[in-house]
Amino acid sequence: MKKINMFKRFYWSLLQFKKVSALRIEKVGKSIGFVFFLMMLLTFPYAINLTLDATQALSSIEKASETEDSTFTYNEEEQSADEEIIFENDSLIITTVEDDFTSKKNILFLNHNQGMLKTPSNSYSFMYSSMFSEGETFTLDDLHSELANFIYVLLILSVVTFYLLSTTVKFVEVSLLSLGGLMGNKSMKRNLNYAQIWKLSAYAVTVPSIVVFIYDRFASQQMISGFLFWIGSFVILYFISSFVPKKAK
């Protein structure tokens, strides 16, 4: 079989099930590589969403630092500030009280020994001790600079962790799907062994994985995402397998 790039494999796994069925004769390394490729594609939106969310929150702090000249002194017992609400505008609240704000604004909590930046989508906790020395006085601009460095390192670690964990889970799902496909093939009687079914399963999970990824990002109820994935994966594996010739009698 001629060399087929990953993008073409991805396209086939979306629409061309007959062509996918021919990939069963390839080396298993090609299918393994496709799983890594698929999860990399699904990691991109996750990384972009995290980055945009953090960038917008940090930008609101930077703009606030241009007009807010309050200073803070870090010590391990208390963090000095005269007011509970230090700053508030259309996009940001800076407060020393960790309250249950219902606002969709970014919220920067400044407690006595640690802080937390809460965005509409995520939250980032940080220790003053990792940014400032005991007794050091700092401004909002100083905090913004330190916080930006901290958050961007955290984003990189989060994206890498997400990719590794989600890829590991996907390999487990492909293996379980191939076991189900092996049992189902007893009735279909297609000329397939377990290794070939595993290869086809790696492509069968493409559409369900994308659907579940989108569903989990926008749906308020995520309890049926597993049901959608497994039903979709088994149905697609069935269609792919149906293009494989039956065993010779």
pLDDT at 14 over 80: yes
Whether 76 contacts 113, CB under 8 Å:
yes
| Res 16: pLDDT | 94
Please report, to the nearest 10 degrees, the dihedral formed by the alpha carbons of residues 187, 192, 195, 199 taken in order: -90
pLDDT at 13 over 90: yes
| Res 99: pLDDT | 65
Segment 220-246 shows an average pLDDT of 90
**Could you report the per-residue pLDDT of 120-136, keeping only the tens digit for each?**
888 888 888 888 887 77
pLDDT at 191 over 80: yes
**Could you report the per-residue pLDDT of 78-108, keeping only the tens digit for each?**
555 555 667 788 888 888 776 655 566 888 8
Q: What is the mean pLDDT of the chain?
A: 88
The domains of the chain are located at 6-48+158-242, 60-155
Please report, to the nearest 10 degrees, the dihedral formed by the alpha carbons of residues 81, 83, 88, 94 taken in order: 40
**Could you report the per-residue pLDDT of 134-143, keeping only the tens digit for each?**
777 888 888 8
Q: If pLDDT is split at 50, 70 and 90, which confidence band does 68 have?
A: confident
Segment 192-215 shows an average pLDDT of 95
Instruction: Using a pLDDT cut of 70, give the percent of the chain over it.
Output: 90
